[in-house]
Amino acid sequence: MKKIKNNTAHWKIKLHEIIYEADTKAGKLFDIILLFAIFTSVLLVMLESVEEINQNYATQLNVAEWFITILFTIEYILRIISIDKPSKYIFSFYGSIDFLSTIPKYLALYFTGTHSLVALRALRLLRVFRILKLARFIGASNNLLKALKASKAKIAVFLFFVVILCVILGTVMYMIEGAENGFTSIPRSVYWAIVTMTTVGYGDIAPHTPFGQFIASIIMILGYGIIAIPTGIVSSEMTKANTVHTNTQSCQNCAIEGHKDDAEYCYHCGDKLNG
């Protein structure tokens, strides 16, 4: 009995390695097939949403979708049985997405109207980042990620500032322009302020009164100017990340690191360093 159990465990470990890791050849192959399947599934959802294509190739699309759905179902089941604590996967971020992108196709058999939820499959594209992170792009974007992590707080303060500013300016524009010029409510005016501040500028709502256009001009110039802030933050963080100290000498006495390049004595214990 014990032997069989061990065998099963071994089989589970092997499967876990293939599905959850990317170090082995089989693991890499699995990732590539998964990537391919995800891209195909998204392409199918896209094509299906185009009226003409959907009408002419309904059967083919349906077959292809069922094929992908069954593939995803198998993957989902394998992921559950190959992990020690299935609940850890099931209720994780990626686990939820995997579930949400597989279930709508089955639901559509019993409930009409739920088929459009198949589009949720696009969320699986997020796994692309996970797969690629484990693979080759890690080197290229490592410094980038470090810089982004370092500037997260500053960027958050900045975006919060932009949103608050848009709420205030949107409200002001609602009072100036009013419903007759398309600024029918404050949320809509705030939406307009965001459209303007971020220099998107749809033009679906635009100020008509001279004073409104004057305030709009100020918002635009503000938006044009303050885009320099996030850019400046990331630029300086990246520059910092690039110039990070590469001196790896460590003191033989206290083992501390981070000495100056021309240091002759340890800054922590005063011991002589061997150059």
Q: At its nearest, how many Å lie between a copy of itself and the CB of residue 246? A: 13
Q: How far apart are CA 150 and CA 40, in angstroms?
A: 36
CB 199 within 8 A of CB 220: yes
CB within 8 Å of 195: residues ≥ 6 apart: 201, 202, 205
Q: How far apart are CA 68 and CA 75, in angstroms?
A: 10
Q: How far apart are CA 189 and CA 178, in angstroms?
A: 9
Of the candidate residues 40, 236, 249, 250, the single one contacting a copy of itself (CB under 8 A): 236
Residues 91-130 binding a copy of itself (CB under 8 A) are 116-117, 119-120, 122-123, 125-126, 128-129
Of 9 and 218, CB closest to a copy of itself: 218
Of the candidate residues 46, 75, 110, 131, the single one contacting a copy of itself (CB under 8 A): 46
Given the structure tokens 């850019």, which residue do they identify? Answer: 231
Of 35 and 78, CB closest to a copy of itself: 35
Which stretch in 13-21, 82-90, 103-111, 266-274 sits in contact with a copy of itself by CB under 8 A? 266-274
Per the document, the length of the chain is: 275
CB within 8 Å of 177: residues ≥ 6 apart: 183, 189, 207, 208, 209, 212
Residues 150-169 binding a copy of itself (CB under 8 A) are 153-159, 161-164, 167-168
Helix (H, G, I), strand (E, B) or coil at 264: coil
Which stretch in 16-24, 25-33, 40-48, 84-92 sits in contact with a copy of itself by CB under 8 A? 40-48
Residues 182-211 binding a copy of itself (CB under 8 A) are 184-188, 190-191, 194-204, 206, 210
